[in-house]
Amino acid sequence: MEVVRIRPRGYCHGVVEAIRLAKRVGAESDGKPVTMLGYLVHNEHATRELEEAGVRLVAESDRMKGLAQITEGTVIFTAHGISPQVVDAARERGLTIVDATCSDVTRTHDLVRELTARAVHVIYIGKRGHPEPAGVMGVAPDNTTLIESIEEADALEFAPGTRLAVTCQTTLSMWDTQAIIDRLTERFPEIEVHNEICRATQERQEAAVLAADDVDCVVVVGSRRSSNSRRLAQVVEELGHKPAFLVDTAAELRPEWFRGVRRVGVTSGASTPTQLTRAVVAALEAMPDAEEVTAPS
C-alpha cells in the first residue's frame, strides 16, 4: 500500500494567524484572565495547546450566553467571526477585546454591510448552528436570509422589486454552494453573486478530488467539529467517487478500511495541526507493505 500526501493540506493562513495571536495574548497577560469565546479553531488538539498557553475556553455555541460567563480580563473572538451585538456587549462589560477573525470572514462581514447599506437583501448560504453564519447574520439580521439547500432556495419569496444578492460561508463544499447559487440565479436573474468560499478551502477540495482519481481511498485528518474537514471527506466521496474516512488521530484508523487498498491518499482540514497528520501518515506507513509517495503539487 502506497501513502500519497495530498497537497495543499493542513493549516490555512487564517488559522495560523488566529493561533499565533491567541498564544501571544496568553503569554503577555501578566496573570490576568484570557478567554476564547468558543473554539478558536475547530480542533480539540489546537484548543488544548492554547489552554496550556493560558487561554481558557468557554465552549458555548451561543456566543452571547458564553460572554455572560466572562467577567474580567481579555476575551478572544474566534477565527469564525462574531456578530456586532456580541462585540458591543463585550465592550459594555469592560472586557479587553482581541479579534482573531479570519480576514476572509471579515471580508464577508464588510460585504454584507456594503450590500445592505444599498438596500440590497442578502441571501446567505451557510450551515445553521455554525459560528461563522451566526456572526455574519448578526451584521444585518433584518436584511439577511440564511439558507442551506436548493430546496430552501426554491422556497424563497420576495416582494416585487426587491434587490437581492447572494454570498456564503467560506468553508462549504464549493460544488454544493455553486449549485445553490445557480438555482438562485435561475429564480432571480438580477441577483448579485458574491461567492466567498475561501481560496484555502477551494484548493484543498480541488486537490482532494483530483487525487481521488489515482488512489483507492482517502483519509482526511480533522475534527468532526470542523466544517472544512467534513466537506473534504464529502467531496471525495460525492465527486471523487472514492471512500473517505475522517479521523481525528491515528488511533482512529481501522485496518479493515484498507483491505485490498493499493494506494491511500492523506489530506487534512485547515484547522488540523501538522503533527496529527504526520502521525496518521506514519501509522499508515507502518501497516504491512505500506510505502510513501508524494503527489505532485
For residue 295, what pLDDT is reported?
57
Asked if the model's pLDDT at residue 291 lies above 60, the reply is no
Catalytic residue among 51, 52, 132, 190: 132
- Provide the CATH number for the domain around residue 37: 3.40.50.11270
Select from 101, 134, 151 the last residue of a domain. Answer: 101
245 shares a domain with 223: yes
The string of pLDDT tens digits covering residues 109-135 is 999 999 999 999 999 999 999 999 999
Q: Determine whether 186 is an active site residue.
A: no
The arithmetic mean of pLDDT across residues 202-231, rounded, is: 95
The arithmetic mean of pLDDT across residues 71-91, rounded, is: 97
Please list, residue by residue across 225-241, b when 16 or more beta carbons sit within 10 angstroms of its beta carbon and e when fewer do. bbbbbbbbbbbbbebbe
119 shares a domain with 96: no
Q: Which domain range does residue 117 map to?
A: 104-193
172 shares a domain with 88: no
Is the bond into 8 cis (omega within 30 degrees of 0)?
yes
For residue 289, what pLDDT is reported?
65
Asked if the model's pLDDT at residue 297 lies above 80, the reply is no
Select from 193, 223, 258 the last residue of a domain. Answer: 193
Select from 193, 208, 241 the last residue of a domain. Answer: 193
Q: Classify strands 164-168 and 121-125 as parallel, antiparallel or unpaired.
A: parallel
The string of pLDDT tens digits covering residues 266-279 is 999 999 999 999 99
- Provide the CATH number for the domain around residue 145: 3.40.1010.20
For residue 61, what pLDDT is reported?
87
Number of structural domains (the chain) is 3
Amino acid identity of residue 182, one-letter, is: D
Given a contact cutoff of 8 angstroms between Cβ atoms, the answer to whether 219 and 284 are in contact is yes
The mean pLDDT of the chain is 94
Given a contact cutoff of 8 angstroms between Cβ atoms, the answer to whether 160 and 188 are in contact is no
The arithmetic mean of pLDDT across residues 63-84, rounded, is: 96
Asked if the model's pLDDT at residue 290 lies above 50, the reply is no
The string of pLDDT tens digits covering residues 134-187 is 999 999 999 999 999 999 999 999 999 999 999 999 999 999 999 999 999 999
35 shares a domain with 118: no
pTM, to two decimals: 0.90
Asked if the model's pLDDT at residue 246 lies above 90, the reply is yes
69 shares a domain with 138: no
For residue 191, what pLDDT is reported?
98
The string of pLDDT tens digits covering residues 147-160 is 999 999 999 999 99
The arithmetic mean of pLDDT across residues 179-196, rounded, is: 98
The string of pLDDT tens digits covering residues 277-286 is 999 999 999 9
156 shares a domain with 221: no
289 shares a domain with 204: yes
Cα angle 40, 99, 41 (rounded to 5 degrees) comes to: 15
205 shares a domain with 185: no
74 shares a domain with 45: yes
Residue listed under C-alpha cell 436584511? 143
Among 240, 167, 182, 241, residue whose Cα is nearest residue 206: 240
For residue 288, what pLDDT is reported?
77
Q: How far apart are CA 157 and CA 180, in angstroms?
A: 15
The x, y and z cell numbers of residue 89, run together, are: 456587549
